[in-house]
């Protein structure tokens, strides 16, 4: 699978969130306090896209029924013990890249 180029870093502003495609799969991408975070763009509850969620600190809240996730590691804070996939993000030259192998 490896690294997938998402776009130019200059296109991603601080404090924003996006739905992007990496390896033909939808990913929720967040930029928070200067760093990028990526996770599967699907709520564990009923699959709502988390890129449309409400962000506060390092958490995103699914707007449909309010499940909350830590986008640093994909942990679902509303259902202890459950976790969604999160992915590594890196800056390579002027590009932003996501690795679709699950974070270790
Ligand atoms: S679909 Fe996300 S909380 Fe229900």
Give the pLDDT confidence score for residue 103 in this predicted structure. Answer: 74
Which residue is closest in CA terms to ligand 1's atom 3? 65
Tokens 């390579």 found at: 92
Task: Check pocket membership of 68 for ligand 1, CB cut-off 6 A.
Answer: no
**What distance in angstroms lies between residue 45's CA and the mean position of ligand 1's atoms?**
5
CB 71 within 8 A of CB 54: no
pLDDT per position as a tens digit, 88-99: 999 999 999 999
Provide the domain count of the chain.
Answer: 1
What is the per-residue pLDDT for 25? Answer: 94
pTM recorded for the entire structure = 0.94
Asked if 28 contacts 16 with a C-beta cutoff of 8 angstroms, the reply is no
The residue-averaged pLDDT of 21-49 equals 96
Q: Is ligand 1 within 6 A of the CB of residue 62?
A: yes
Mean pLDDT on 75-79: 97
Q: Which residues contact 35 (CB under 8 A, 6 or more apart)?
A: none
Residue range(s) defining the domain that contains residue 50: 3-102
CATH of the domain at 92: 2.102.10.10
């Amino acid at each position: 699978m490896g690294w997938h180029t998402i776009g130019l870093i200059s296109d991603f502003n601080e404090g924003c969130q996006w739905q992007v495609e990496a390896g033909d799969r939808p990913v929720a991408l967040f930029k928070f306090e200067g760093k990028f975070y990526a996770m599967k763009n699907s709520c564990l509850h009923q699959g709502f896209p988390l890129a449309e969620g409400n962000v506060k600190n390092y958490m995103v809240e699914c707007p449909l029924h309010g499940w909350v996730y830590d986008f640093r590691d994909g942990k679902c804070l509303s259902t202890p013990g459950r976790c969604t996939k999160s992915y590594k993000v890196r800056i390579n030259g002027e590009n932003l890249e996501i690795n679709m192998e699950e974070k270790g």
